[in-house]
Structure 1
């Protein structure tokens, strides 16, 4: 193995290890417990983007109180709501608190604690419509959060179009854009989103449609369930649970959100939080690109090898990774790795591996084409001089192939920068995830998304400019 290849593999290992350490700093603590939540549901849980990006809310305060009482160190894992049950089943998290209602369907998959709060459903709509019953919603477009009990509230409504989305902010934005007539939300969440927007109102559904109660979810047979039940009982008895409820539900929203077509003043205080995502996006892109290039180069050599098993392996590998969605590969790496191997892979490392392996499948064909494009006379001359095959490929053929495929390599890096937004679905706090957090906090979608779009565009411009400089320098060296 050449020194160049050894250095590249060592660099990949070092970066992946650093990524794993960076996102798992509490992994060695024996009494650490991990809480799964979807921090887009204020006042239960949300990201305090102005206060450094910490996850805060009623559920968080209750969890911290219980963890401290039981002698645990709490770690919070933020992800989409519809992935919380899967995270429990694959042991990504030890318990879930995310305003999750107890239902018979969920009881089949997880164990629940005693209820810690019971809420009511409401109808959120524009003020001019102001629906107050499900009867009035017949034939309308209704939004609910995917995997929530609000789905149950609208189940069986003939003639109505039910739209299910992952995130509450997206549902609220759909009302404001006119694509939904109403959204079914829990009372405290509805209050949070309507308090700062004079165009939105909420109306309680009749008491017969009350939720079944919020509880803490655990993996089946978890010993934590009894410990948490005892702690909850103590909190109810000494009044600390009610004090936390009063703290979050007694808050009044004094800040009015912008209602104009475009108001970038709402980003005041969020700029630093958004810009921190640039580091995460660049780190992820560097890891994926380096890994994909090295592994793609090896795969291209396999395809050009005279050994049939290597050719078959490379062909099948490329077929699998090009034939399945990248998002699916990402979710499999993140959720299946702990279940199959017992290793608690970090979100950033899982993303780097998934994107790197996927990129390698595409790059292997690009690199193979670049190698075949090198004049055959170069190989014949090297062989006539007695240059070993490995030396010939690495020192003569491969550098010329890189010159031929440099534009294609730049395109792949650009694609990685943009596709990195997919890692937000597993909770990596990249640019896209942070834009979603600001959207949830301000109930405004266009401004944070446009700001992040400008950042992505700037990153791509810098990348392409550097590639042009490199291409000019390589041409001068000919």
Structure 2
């Protein structure tokens, strides 16, 4: 009876998993069918006021900002629908190269290095670099930064600028601007080179900091739209950009987003602005919406990872040498390479190799299934070998075939013995699921980063995300303990 209940539970989970995957594939096919009059824009929505997610007022995390308004205007004028994809800044050019997007807008400057990999439109906005430091640090010029730790955003023009213009400085490159601000506040770096329009928002919400503008040079070209090499969209986009400059649309958007700070309350009324903790706690509903994505990802990956781990474990104890060698080599590769690297390869390489635009969530599930299967296989192999050999010999002597023996006698005992290890692997999978935020999956961690970007804070939203992960882990631990006690009673 107990075994039948387990069988029904597995069938239910399998049905749920297959439904979710079919839903992902159907959605992707629909996008592909409509792509004739739809343009996909890739951005890094953590760079207000250029592009960021609006988390208040029931907006549901809609991506808004200066670049977004320009993109909407251009696509509307050209007769296209617009779809926006979010990723890390360092993943924007790979997204264009892999055919995931038709164009990119993220306050990008057309440097010679970038022009080797993508094409650019005309410049649509020029900004200045600033030196952001703690108040009273007396680091107001590039010369004063010599020998100091200076932070920049990874892959940005500020990174190149700092390396070329600041002599003797130690350059620290981080993924997000919010990371740089937190590093300054933590005294890990002395200053950061940040664009002036971005720096204004952070300074308004962090009164202990200040910024000083770096004199402009002819090398600073401003922001442009990026396209895949050879894209036919460059000229049409340039035509509309020129139109926007002539009819005053660009100037109106500059006033809307830069001079008014996009409606930033702290910038407009610092005295009445809520504290960082009040802002973070007020954003809990938005961050908590990521729980569904996190659990969906974890459950699907854990289910398929467990099944794949069983297959690999059986290969490892098999007397068929090719299967044995394959399983050992597979485990060696997936345990010997970083999980973040595996995610990036599956997500960005799949479109280039197969032509299939794999959804970010599906790419994460596949990667974590393949990765966790390698680890789980070792755990299951140990559990199988821990079962008394006499039971296997007795079953074989009674004429029980190998497959029924493993399915009905050995594996149930092995799983019971290794259940604590499987629960630990599930907990690790739940926490590691935050890595999918690097390819744009809007899970708990990504939502916390979105709140930080929109509100110009950093530490507090991450505390909220940490609390949510802790509660989820405690619930998973409780469920695992209850299941373990039930299995012990049924023994």
- TM-score class, shorter-chain normalisation, is over 0.9
Tell me by how many angstroms 1:228 deviates: 1.0
Equivalence map 1:28-39=2 (5 Å) = 28-30=33-35, 31-39=37-45
Contact kept, 8 Å, 1:121 with 1:210, in 2: the verdict is no
Tell me by how many angstroms 1:10 deviates: 5.8
1:110 aligned partner: 118
2:206 aligned partner: 197
C-alpha deviations, 1:277-305, integer Å up to 9, x for none? 11111111001100100011111111122
1:85 aligned partner: 93
Moved more, 118-127 or 317-326: 118-127
Equivalence map 1:263-302=2 (5 Å) = 264-302=277-315
State the secondary structure of the residue aligned to 1:207: coil
2:182 aligned partner: 173
2:196 aligned partner: 187
Instruction: Output the TM-score relative to the length of structure 1.
Output: 0.94
Q: Does 1:18 align with 2:39?
A: no
Tell me by how many angstroms 1:370 deviates: 1.0
CA–CA separation in structure 2 for the residues paired with 1:184 and 1:259: 29
1:352 aligned partner: 365
Q: Does 1:46 align with 2:52?
A: yes
2:149 aligned partner: 141
CA–CA separation in structure 2 for the residues paired with 1:465 and 1:73: 47
Which consecutive unaligned segments of at least 5 residues does structure 2 have? 1-6
CA–CA separation in structure 2 for the residues paired with 1:259 and 1:309: 70
Moved more, 333-342 or 306-315: 306-315
C-alpha deviations, 1:68-116, integer Å up to 9, x for none? 1112111111111111111111112211100001111111111001111
CA–CA separation in structure 2 for the residues paired with 1:38 and 1:257: 27
Moved more, 305-314 or 272-281: 305-314
Moved more, 322-331 or 177-186: 177-186
Equivalence map 1:75-474=2 (5 Å) = 75-156=83-164, 157-208=166-217, 211-252=220-261, 253-255=264-266, 264-474=277-487
Q: 1:125 to 1:64 in 2, by over 3 A?
A: same
CA–CA separation in structure 1 for the residues paired with 2:190 and 2:105: 29
Contact kept, 8 Å, 1:38 with 1:78, in 2: the verdict is yes
1:476 aligned partner: 489
Moved more, 245-254 or 405-414: 245-254
CA–CA separation in structure 1 for the residues paired with 2:395 and 2:41: 60
CA–CA separation in structure 2 for the residues paired with 1:199 and 1:127: 6
Which consecutive unaligned segments of at least 5 residues does structure 1 have? none
CA–CA separation in structure 2 for the residues paired with 1:294 and 1:268: 39
C-alpha deviations, 1:435-457, integer Å up to 9, x for none? 11222233333321122111111
CA–CA separation in structure 2 for the residues paired with 1:276 and 1:427: 15
Contact kept, 8 Å, 2:280 with 2:464, in 1: the verdict is no
2:75 aligned partner: 67
Q: 1:222 to 1:42 in 2, by over 3 A?
A: same
Contact kept, 8 Å, 2:204 with 2:270, in 1: the verdict is no
Q: 1:24 to 1:188 in 2, by over 3 A?
A: farther
Contact kept, 8 Å, 1:24 with 1:346, in 2: the verdict is no
State the secondary structure of the residue aligned to 1:462: helix
Aligned-residue RMSD, C-alpha: 2.3
Contact kept, 8 Å, 2:284 with 2:464, in 1: the verdict is no
Instruction: Output the TM-score relative to the length of structure 2.
Output: 0.91
Q: 1:116 to 1:434 in 2, by over 3 A?
A: same
CA–CA separation in structure 1 for the residues paired with 2:22 and 2:335: 27
Tell me by how many angstroms 1:183 deviates: 1.2
Q: 1:198 to 1:25 in 2, by over 3 A?
A: farther
Q: Does 1:57 align with 2:65?
A: yes
Contact kept, 8 Å, 2:203 with 2:211, in 1: the verdict is yes
State the secondary structure of the residue aligned to 2:40: strand
State the secondary structure of the residue aligned to 1:115: coil
CA–CA separation in structure 2 for the residues paired with 1:464 and 1:415: 11
